[in-house]
Structure 1
């Protein structure tokens, strides 16, 4: 990622260029990314291809001001952090379901950043921690989004818990973005993928979260949640532009 692309990416998330690749700057970049770049699966419902090529990710997130799912968001953020001088590793992770079962590794892409401490970095898991999590901290880590625990798991893996509930299990082995191409294709194309069940778009805000699910607008501010039905296609498209800053060619459909 060249200097001009880095500057455009930083402008996209409203962040100044860090003076040094340190923990304070990482926290700020993490928060700003979550508030600017949505977790969304709209490409799957607009007939758009999903590519993990760096140029394609930059075009989608920076030039087109869109978002993506974990492989896209954390893949792009890893490229940005690397260009800023951070030591970044991509980790394969399995996701815990509501019944406690663990999906296969590579179902999720998370990041590990090594500074004076190791940090789990994740801007691609939807509603998750506002700030990076200390990888080797044995106690609860309080965050605006909740209380998080990072626990050792079998085989050198690590489990991430949010408010006492296991979210995902990450492997320690460093991976390449190309290692995630097949699972990304599966999630984008398989009828068994939950991302195919319907369009969704969500990002953090300073006071909570804003989400569009199909034709429903969900807003949470200071713990208070409101839901608005979007009655027409024009209302849906206007909501995307107002809350996420991009104009879609049409309403995403299942």
Structure 2
């Protein structure tokens, strides 16, 4: 890949959307939801010993040419490139994720501030797994109902904003625009630190057309209904590659190594 027109057309085909005539809010909402359905949130590269490169073209190559997913820096980074090419104004924002009352390290999460032609800014996040299905209004102070829950933006110290889902804080975002390279440290931490959730877990998750969520965590395949119902199936090793392919659209030549399992001399 590398030709901007071809990259954009291929990206839109990947998520099943025609090119919008105008970069307006309805177009942003459709692009956001379709991205969540078509492109899974996954950390498989960490457990396949694949390099993660935070550069626009490398992210497009992974998400579009290789039909893979990724974690926040990759998914929101690639989505930002697409939105800009479609005429939206986009800023990258940094956030710290809540674990109870405790906040993660800085730059642990990346999301987008998007300005459609109407002029109102929206928060777009296609890289957090379970979250809002549609962008959130940045200047709205009341509840924002979404199929993914009830969201609210709450003022935080130093001009930051806390994003809450169903009354619980999810992450604290800064309003200052950042460059993609600013997230190298956060990406390195999430990829390598023993306390990182991504290092300690193996996850692949996506939204479905009917609002359910499919998640493969290690060998545990979980279906979460729009009503909160939950079904779990333990997969055999032989079922993993088929499930990645059939349920998430990922064609892998080998299964990711399970966290905590050392590679043998063959690299398996």
Query: Common fold, TM-score beyond 0.5?
Result: yes
TM-score interval (norm. to shorter): over 0.9
User: Which of 72, 76, 79 in structure 1 is aligned with 2:78?
Assistant: 76
> CA RMSD for the aligned pairs?
1.1
How far, CA to CA, are the matches of 1:74 and 1:190 in structure 2?
22
CA deviation after TM superposition for structure 1 residue 118, in Å: 1.1
Is residue 157 of structure 1 aligned with residue 165 of structure 2? no
How far, CA to CA, are the matches of 1:181 and 1:131 in structure 2?
27
CA deviation after TM superposition for structure 1 residue 192, in Å: 2.2
**Cα offsets for 1:199-254 (capped at 9, x unmatched):** 110001123100100011101234221111102x2201111111011221211112
Match of 1:63 in 2: 65
Match of 1:248 in 2: 252
Does structure 1 conserve the Cα–Cα contact (< 8 Å) formed by 2:93 and 2:111? Answer: yes
Is residue 225 of structure 1 aligned with residue 230 of structure 2? yes
CA deviation after TM superposition for structure 1 residue 114, in Å: 2.1
How far, CA to CA, are the matches of 2:226 and 2:4 in structure 1?
39
User: Which of 8, 13, 19 in structure 1 is aligned with 2:10?
Assistant: 8
Counting only pairs closer than 5 Å after superposition, residues 196-215 of structure 1 correspond to structure 2 as 196-207=199-210, 208-215=212-219
Does structure 1 conserve the Cα–Cα contact (< 8 Å) formed by 2:106 and 2:186? Answer: no
**Cα offsets for 1:45-96 (capped at 9, x unmatched):** 0111111112211111111111000000111101110111111000111111
Match of 1:105 in 2: 106
User: Which of 150, 167, 173 in structure 2 is aligned with 1:147?
Assistant: 150
Match of 1:180 in 2: 183
TM-score w.r.t. the length of structure 2 is: 0.91
How far, CA to CA, are the matches of 1:101 and 1:221 in structure 2?
29
Match of 2:45 in 1: 43
How far, CA to CA, are the matches of 2:121 and 2:155 in structure 1?
14
How far, CA to CA, are the matches of 1:246 and 1:46 in structure 2?
13
**Cα offsets for 1:159-193 (capped at 9, x unmatched):** 11000000011101100001011211221122221
